Structure 1
């Protein structure tokens, strides 16, 4: 007799609700990623030893925290719950689109046992093309400026042309100009 084995339907991953952070998460995130760097990532071939861990430009947007984290293996825009309107609990690995001042950006949910749920938008990975920390900081600062700025299409709108002062043209002047002659 053949026994039939039933496999349970795949359940969606559980969602651990984020605990909103009242304070700037920069120091907390830096401590976490420094620990990861020292314990798990230090000797991997794709890391850039010229870089260190640093959180750049974390600020509240719609009540939640947005900023860039630089590590020797990535440069990501991170969203951390601050109890605001931007955050939404979703399962780790899922993607969501957020409307930011620069336009719509895609974020990926993650849930780290040490730091809890967060969402990130990958900016650069691997970071092997960044020659030093000063360059990484410039890239991070530019990313923050871009995220909190208007969309490029609005930011690059050419200025309206300056209206020329129009002078009355006589009939004779009109025909002279038509003929290519100046007054």
Structure 2
């Protein structure tokens, strides 16, 4: 498994929002062509790129579809099928794949399928919260900074990013 710290070689991608929108357009096409009739397709949801931004020379954001919610980053030039990406919240394993209209991407699943979301507003709120959590230091680091003791209750960021929204006692 390789690690990524900076944007891989290839065509420079400078506008995170534009890249996220290009990715969302590709998933809209995939949804219309191949996913809509599958039982994992949630009709109340749309495809949307959320929170795409630069992070340490990489573009990262969350794509919401009617069948999944993933953290995504470009992966042009990455030869491995998996890689670790380090965020302030910790290191996460991403799977590398190819999207015809976009190129190689690395993605980390947050939710799939998407039936726990009643509507797009709920899915968008979860994506925005996950994006914010990715960019926040680990709970243990944050507790040391805030001076919280072992009895403090915090949301376990790693569990949140893996789709488990429960609180844990520290």
What TM-score results when the alignment is normalised by the length of structure 2?
0.74
Q: Is the 8 Å Cα contact of residues 101 and 150 (structure 1) preserved in structure 2?
A: yes
1:86-138 CA-to-partner distances (Å, cap 9, x unmatched) read x86124xx221122111111111111222100100010011111111111011
For the residue of structure 1 that corresponds to 2:29, the secondary structure is helix
- Map of 1:170-181 to 2, 5 A cutoff? none
- Map of 1:79-98 to 2, 5 A cutoff? 79-81=73-75, 89-91=78-80, 94-98=81-85
Residues matched between the structures, number: 138
1:119-177 CA-to-partner distances (Å, cap 9, x unmatched) read 0001001111111111101110111011111111112345379xxxxxxxxxxxxxxxx
Residue 21 (str. 1) matches residue 13 (str. 2): yes
**C-alpha root-mean-square deviation of aligned residues, in Å?**
2.0
For the residue of structure 2 that corresponds to 1:126, the secondary structure is coil
CA distance in 1, matches of 2:78, 2:63: 21
Spell out structure 1 runs of 4+ moving beyond 4 A: none
- Map of 1:4-15 to 2, 5 A cutoff? none
Which residue in the other structure is 2:51 paired with?
57
Residue 145 (str. 1) matches residue 132 (str. 2): yes
- Map of 1:35-54 to 2, 5 A cutoff? 35-54=29-48
Residue 30 (str. 1) matches residue 19 (str. 2): no
CA distance in 2, matches of 1:46, 1:80: 25
Q: Which has the higher strand share?
A: 2
Q: Which has the higher helix share?
A: 2
**Structure with larger Rg:** 1
